[in-house]
């Protein structure tokens, strides 16, 4: 059977793929720390879909989590047996980030998906449902045609990717589900034409910075200490210091420099006429692997000490999340070569292999010495309002996955 037949079968299912993706968007899967009830409902829906398709080998590896009503964070694996025991893992995540500012969703409501101009709009469409559907239908096409793939395909759907993966891929790795010679693809990042294969990543550091002053009436500010002002000044100083101290570029990465972004800010006082006594701001830092994350933290603490002396406010720093970049996947690993060849053969383009912002499930595989690649064709709409998935990307990436299973 030639690959064209398989690709035609995938094309034939284009509308079905779109419908299935939309079905899953309608079942939100938001983490408890973002005010959601986890992934259980979406996982149930997904398993129903897989069973209807005729997947018979579906396994559940749930992690306990008291914070959600179902008391578990679901991880699901659907296998399609191949001619050999070699396994191709395609890892996609069930969870989504919250919608954010609803008013910014101008095309459709975040969990009420809509198709427009070849795109499916809705939260989670691109991150990560587009590739979840692509991986499922790559396997389904083979099933429909009665083709036994060369290697076993393991479709792996994980929880908790957006908040550190403790209940998701980290849990699965802890259960020893994976082996050194497994082929692992994490389609959770990529560029517009699929010409970028990620094998390395930056360290990710999320910080909460708390500033404590003294609350008072705004008409008599000298009776208090404005934590908002000190907090803002500190945030700007920190922003400047980090960019000045760590300007290095590495063209292997995209973007080539470390990034340091002030992001979330917590609500403070309820009234305009109150000088806030507390201020909370967060930073998202993605640091080139050449820099020691502990060193960066040391520099931040030095700046804090200076500010505390200058302002007599108290400033504390809390590491919300820290992922130190693992050793990159070998550029000559089998999965890298297979993927490179698949993209070249099917798309006629030579993909670039390199590093990116990071923070995907691939990092945890690299940490235990299992080569993993991050690849997909995406418009990089993740976490944005009016997030969409291009239907063409979903269909065409399914062909690449089918090729990886067969070649
Ligand atoms: Zn994602």
Residue of 95, 188, 198, 201 with catalytic role: 95
Ligand 1 mean position, distance from CA 346 (Å)? 25
- DSSP class of residue 63 equals E
Ligand 1 mean position, distance from CA 382 (Å)? 7
Q: Cα(252)–Cα(247) distance, rounded to whole angstroms? A: 15
Q: Cα(34)–Cα(308) distance, rounded to whole angstroms? A: 31
Q: Is 162 a catalytic residue?
A: no
pLDDT at 183: 98
Backbone angles phi, psi at 337, to 5 degrees: -60, -45
Structure tokens at 198: 């990620």
Q: Is 95 a catalytic residue?
A: yes
Sheet holding 314-323, edge to edge: 259-265, 278-287, 203-212, 314-323
Ligand 1 mean position, distance from CA 366 (Å)? 17
Residue of 62, 161, 284, 397 with catalytic role: 161
pTM for the whole structure: 0.81
Ligand 1 mean position, distance from CA 315 (Å)? 33
Ligand 1 mean position, distance from CA 341 (Å)? 25
Closest by Cα among 192, 212, 24 to 112? 24
Question: Averaged in consecutive runs of 10 residues, what is the pLDDT profile of the chain (407 residues)?
Answer: 92 98 98 96 98 97 98 98 97 97 96 98 98 98 97 98 96 97 97 95 94 97 97 98 96 90 96 97 94 97 97 97 89 97 97 83 94 96 96 98 97
pLDDT at 357: 64
Q: Are 153 and 178 in contact (CB under 8 A)?
A: no
Burial of 327 per CB tally in 10 Å (0-12, 13-18, 19+)? exposed
pLDDT at 1: 61
Closest by Cα among 118, 122, 129, 42 to 92? 129
């Amino acid at each position: 059977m030639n690959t064209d037949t398989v690709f035609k079968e995938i094309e034939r299912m284009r509308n079905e793929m779109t419908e299935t993706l939309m079905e899953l968007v309608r079942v939100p899967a938001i983490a408890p720390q973002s005010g959601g009830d986890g992934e259980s409902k979406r996982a149930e829906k997904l398993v129903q879909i897989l069973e209807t398709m005729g997947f018979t080998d579906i396994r559940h590896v749930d992690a306990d989590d008291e914070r959600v009503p179902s008391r578990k964070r679901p991880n699901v694996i659907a296998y399609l047996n191949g001619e050999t025991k070699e396994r191709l893992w395609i890892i996609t995540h069930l969870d989504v980030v919250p919608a954010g500012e609803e008013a910014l969703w101008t095309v459709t409501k975040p969990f009420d998906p809509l198709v427009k101009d070849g795109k499916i709009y809705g939260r989670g469409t691109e991150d990560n449902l587009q590739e979840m559907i692509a991986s499922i239908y790559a396997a389904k096409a083979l099933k429909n045609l009665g083709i036994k793939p060369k290697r076993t395909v393991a479709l792996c759907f994980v929880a908790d990717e957006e908040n550190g993966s403790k209940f998701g891929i980290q849990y699965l790795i802890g259960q020893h589900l994976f082996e050194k010679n497994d082929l692992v693809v994490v389609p959770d990042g990529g560029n517009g034409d699929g010409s970028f294969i990620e094998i390395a990543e930056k360290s990710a550091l999320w910080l909460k910075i708390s500033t404590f002053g003294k609350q008072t009436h705004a008409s008599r500010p000298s009776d208090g200490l404005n934590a908002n002002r000190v907090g803002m000044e500190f945030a700007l100083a920190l922003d400047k210091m980090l960019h000045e101290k760590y300007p290095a570029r590495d063209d292997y990465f995209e973007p080539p420099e470390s990034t340091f972004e002030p992001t979330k800010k917590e609500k403070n006082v309820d009234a305009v006429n109150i000088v806030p006594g507390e201020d909370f701001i967060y930073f998202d830092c993605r640091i080139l692997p050449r820099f020691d994350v502990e060193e960066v933290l040391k520099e931040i603490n030095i700046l804090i000490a200076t500010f505390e002396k200058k302002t007599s406010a108290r400033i504390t720093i809390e590491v919300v999340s820290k992922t130190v970049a693992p050793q990159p996947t070998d550029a000559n690993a089998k999965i890298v070569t297979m993927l490179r060849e698949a993209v070249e053969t099917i798309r006629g383009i030579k993909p670039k292999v390199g590093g990116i912002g990071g923070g995907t499930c691939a990092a945890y595989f690299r940490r235990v010495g299992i080569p993993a690649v991050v690849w997909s064709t995406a418009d990089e709409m993740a976490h944005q309002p009016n997030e969409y998935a291009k239907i063409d990307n979903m269909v065409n990436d399914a062909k690449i996955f089918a090729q990886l299973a067969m070649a």
